[in-house]
Structure 1
Amino acid sequence: MSQIIYKIAPEAMWREAEKNGAFTGAPIDIADGFIHFSTGSQVRETAARHFAGQADLLLIAIDQAKLGDALKYEVSRGGALFPHLYAPLGLDAVVSVLPLPLGADGSHRFPKLEGE
């Protein structure tokens, strides 16, 4: 299994987390009690389903090995296992932060992801 998992976040929200030294989650994360992540094979569907047409997004790559026991893989949509973090995301676990631009067709343009 890949050691890299992904978070999609609005740029302004992520820049605030960088100032604060940790990401405590988007409103949906806070409401659910954990930070939602996606694996490399899940993140495109996550973008299409939850961020369709949204600009000013970032794709944050996280080294899941640095998250410890607070990271749990749990059943979510369609029975798939998704990574959930039951703690703030420390910036030391972040591998990269890349723009996630919209293409002319309105879908997000992803960089090459680990495992592809």
Structure 2
Amino acid sequence: MVFMKIYKVCSMEHWQKAQAEGVFTGVAVDLADGYIHFSAADQLAETLSKHFKGQTDLVLLTVDAGQIEEKLKWEPSRGGALFPHLYADLPLRAVIEEHALLTDEQGEFVLPEGL
């Protein structure tokens, strides 16, 4: 498996709860859909704009897809694009980076350098 990063956006509250419990089980939309939603790097800006505009206190989790590949499926979503969906809880060991998501003066999210 080639090392690949995928991304999860959630509230700082959800992330802190996951850290306390030792596993990330997902947010409301994940629980309703039966899988944890992720984005690839090239999908992230649109995901933020479409689903998180105006929200604050968010964290961006960088996940090593290779550590969860057995339960990860790439499925069509927005416009037929394939999005990564995890059909299991996310083990915290697979989270390799976390970044608080900040916005600029126009309210647009500023992604960490390198994305």
**Cα offset for 1:2?**
6.2
Secondary structure, aligned partner of 2:112: coil
1:48 is matched with: 49
User: Taking structure 2 as the reference length, what is the TM-score of the superposition?
Assistant: 0.95
1:88 is matched with: 89
Q: How does 1:1-116 map to 2 (within 5 A)?
A: 3-113=4-114
Secondary structure, aligned partner of 1:100: strand
Unaligned stretches of 5+ residues in structure 2: none
Secondary structure, aligned partner of 1:8: strand
Secondary structure, aligned partner of 1:25: coil
Is the alpha carbon distance of 1:34 and 1:113 closer, same or farther for their aligned partners in structure 2, counting shifts above 3 Å?
farther
Secondary structure, aligned partner of 2:85: strand
Is the alpha carbon distance of 1:8 and 1:50 closer, same or farther for their aligned partners in structure 2, counting shifts above 3 Å?
same
Counterpart code for 1:68: E
Give the Cα separation in 1 of the matches to 2:4 and 2:35.
Answer: 19
The structure 1 segments of at least 4 consecutive aligned residues displaced by more than 3 Å after TM superposition are none
User: Taking structure 1 as the reference length, what is the TM-score of the superposition?
Assistant: 0.94
Counterpart code for 1:10: S
Unaligned stretches of 5+ residues in structure 1: none
Retained in 2: the 8 A contact 1:40–1:113?
Answer: no
Is the alpha carbon distance of 1:12 and 1:49 closer, same or farther for their aligned partners in structure 2, counting shifts above 3 Å?
same
